[in-house]
Amino acid sequence: MIDFLSFFRKLTAIILTIISLISPNLFRLFTGTSEYGKSVFFYTDTYPEDLTELLFTNNMFDDSTTVLAKKLVTAVIIQFMTGEMDNGEAADIISQVPIGDTERTLGEIPPKNAFWEALAGALKDSKLLPETVRWFLEMWAEGINDLHVYFDPTEYEGIYQFMGSYLNDKGELIYVYTGAYYDTSTHIVYGKDNNGVFGIGYDCDVDDMVITSPSDAWMKQFGFNVGYDILGNLIFMDCYTERVKFEYAGTKWMVQLWKGNYTRYANGAEIGLYYLKDGEWLHYECVDGDDMIAMSMELYGNDELILSASTEKHWWICGFQPGPAVSKRNMTVKADITFNFEEMAEKFSEKASKSMTTKVDGKTVSIEW
């Protein structure tokens, strides 16, 4: 049985490598004025609306889902291109998703695409793919037509699960429980089991279009070593990083910070807390359980707030926002890190003060980097 997390990590690395190689041919980099009235990092030869149309040329979605999906995708593309998606626009679009499947009107099953049917049929039996991927491919091979997306109420007020119903090629109505939820009060899309939407390790604050990560994300199992930074900067990252190593209570700890550009089309920052096991000198473990700490941070670019994020207990706080790239040289991270012990905060501050501004207040260390 193949290890899904190991496979996913390798697959992600391959995909990002391919993107990094072909993206110069897909997007034209320039400095100029876009139709939206500001300099942008990249643009396509088509308007966002035209690009969105290309993504919905098949008959997979029903009419009502297509209308909402086009609006949402267009808004996201504008955010990537200009960084100026209207605050709350995505949440307004998502609020139009119908509650329940009561408005369902079944359409006709379109003619089969023999090529995609054969490809999906071949891949669904591949032993090289994880079970979740094979499950999707099996559905795809059986046909996904007239897909209707809606909200299913949960036992918690204001919390809804994204649901889908579609016709397969046999004319059977199939229901899909996505495990992705939407909080109508915070406007956050998140996944079940505290491991990210669809288990990918990330959630999304749709108001500010900021990607964050829950504390049980799959990345936690892999710990950290410097090789990750080397690989990341070779493939998709352009970041400054700072490693603050200190000792407390007989354990070697490390707080690492990052700020910069991710996948060329997003700005972000991270702060993680790690420790060395006895006898280990290179590979750090992510803290867990009672060792996790509260953190909050703000990322500024050219003295303007890009994003903010906070968490009560975590091993790694992060925030990524799509948009035109801001030079990492002009980025500043302001953060509060609340340790579990005052002495631990003091030990960290003592080492961190050599490379950034720090201020200690009890268990909390405020930094500016």
Domain boundaries, the chain: 4-208, 218-368
Higher pLDDT, 165 or 336: 336
pLDDT of residue 119: 65
Q: Flag whether pLDDT at 32 surpasses 50.
A: no
DSSP one-letter string for 14-75: HHHHHHHHHHHHHSEE--S--TTSS--SEE-SS-HHHHHHHHT-SSSB-HHHHHHHHHHHHH
Q: Flag whether pLDDT at 204 surpasses 60.
A: yes
CA 15 – CA 19 distance, rounded (Å): 6
Reported in sequence order, the residue ranges of the chain that DSSP labels E, i.e. its strands, are 28-29, 42-43, 145-153, 159-167, 173-183, 188-191, 203-205, 210-212, 237-248, 251-262, 266-275, 285-286, 293-301, 304-314, 316-322, 331-338, 357-361, 364-368
Q: Flag whether pLDDT at 295 surpasses 80.
A: yes
- Identify the weakest region by mean pLDDT among 99-103, 153-157, 164-168, 324-328: 99-103
Q: Which residues contact 261 (CB under 8 A, 6 or more apart)?
A: 237, 238, 239, 267, 268, 325, 326, 328
Q: Which residues contact 341 (CB under 8 A, 6 or more apart)?
A: 248, 249, 363
Average pLDDT along the chain? 81
pLDDT of residue 366: 98
Q: How far is CA 317 from CA 69, 209, 272, 294, 330, in A?
A: 30, 16, 6, 9, 21
pLDDT tier at 20 (50, 70, 90 boundaries)?
A: very low
Mean pLDDT of 237-259: 95
pLDDT of residue 54: 57
Q: Flag whether pLDDT at 125 surpasses 90.
A: no
Q: Flag whether pLDDT at 40 surpasses 50.
A: no
Q: Flag whether pLDDT at 130 surpasses 70.
A: no
Supply the pTM of this predicted model.
0.77
Mean pLDDT of 148-177: 90
pLDDT tier at 8 (50, 70, 90 boundaries)?
A: low
Indicate the DSSP class of residue 177: E
pLDDT of residue 310: 93
Handedness of CA 215, 216, 217, 220 (dihedral sign): positive
CA 245 – CA 163 distance, rounded (Å): 45
As a whole-number percent, the residues of the chain with pLDDT over 70 amount to: 75
Q: How many CA atoms lie within 13 A of 87 on its CB side?
A: 3
Tens-place pLDDT, residues 80-120: 877 778 778 899 999 999 998 766 667 666 666 666 566 66
